[in-house]
Homo-oligomer: A and B are copies of this chain.
Amino acid sequence: MAQSLVLKARMGKALRLPMGSLIRIVNTHGRQVVDTWAFAETDISEFMSMEHSRVHMGRVNPVAGSVLLTNRRRPVLTIVEDTSGGVHDTMLAACDIYRYQMLGCTTYHRNCTDNLREALGELGLVATETPSPLNLFQNSSIKPDGALVIEPPIAPAGTHVTLRAEMDIVIAFSACPQDMAPTNGADMMPKDAEIIIL
């Protein structure tokens, strides 16, 4: 039977997921970016890598059917279904305290990097690095001159992406807390998402 949890706005969550599992990320309210990471369950130094995945996919962004690879070029996740309109990002770092400082924030701002650390910490895990995430639903538009522009996501409310684990993994998510740029929509208001283990 499917298990569901709410990924609260601005928060993270990590889960152990056996090989072959299907997991669905629902954009409950629409236009919310969900940073996504995957680590080999047996060795956290092996993780999903955007730079290795782009070589393998021959694409800058994944589409239904795309297979994402680890930093040892082993399949780790497959996108088996995508009802969101298919706009996702592989190019932007997770937000962090430094990013919010650069945007003018003078107090602590929740961020995807710390969300990952906290979520892994709840499982007793420590990552040596913050891998570049798969930014589900993020709309980073590449212009013909190479400019990279962060635009509001297009994913409508209730749409989703379903992923299959291609090895035993720890999967982690962060409902991106970005509220100083239109990353999560023109209203700049982070929202909940939903995670369903099918």
A93 to chain B, nearest CB (A): 4
Judging by beta carbons under 8 Å apart, are B146 and A60 in contact? yes
Judging by beta carbons under 8 Å apart, are A142 and B60 in contact? yes
> A139 near B: Cβ within 8 Å?
no
In the complex, which of the residues B49, B58, B98 contacts A72, with contact meaning CB atoms closer than 8 Å?
A: B98
A–B Cβ pairs within 8 angstroms, 15 of them: A49-B93, A51-B91, A51-B93, A54-B148, A55-B93, A58-B147, A58-B149, A60-B146, A60-B148, A71-B130, A72-B98, A73-B96, A73-B99, A74-B98, A128-B129
**Which residues of chain B are within 8 angstroms of A73 by Cβ–Cβ distance?**
96, 98-99, 102
Judging by beta carbons under 8 Å apart, are A91 and B54 in contact? yes
> A84 near B: Cβ within 8 Å?
no
- Chain A residues with CB under 8 Å of chain B are 45, 49-52, 54-55, 57-61, 63, 71-74, 91-93, 96, 98-99, 102, 128-130, 132, 142, 146-149
Judging by beta carbons under 8 Å apart, are B102 and A51 in contact? no
| CA–CA, A73 and B92, complex, Å | 12
**Which residues of chain B are within 8 angstroms of A93 by Cβ–Cβ distance?**
49, 51-52, 54-55, 71
Q: Identify the closest chain B residue to A102 (Cβ).
A: B73
**Which residues of chain B are within 8 angstroms of A149 by Cβ–Cβ distance?**
58
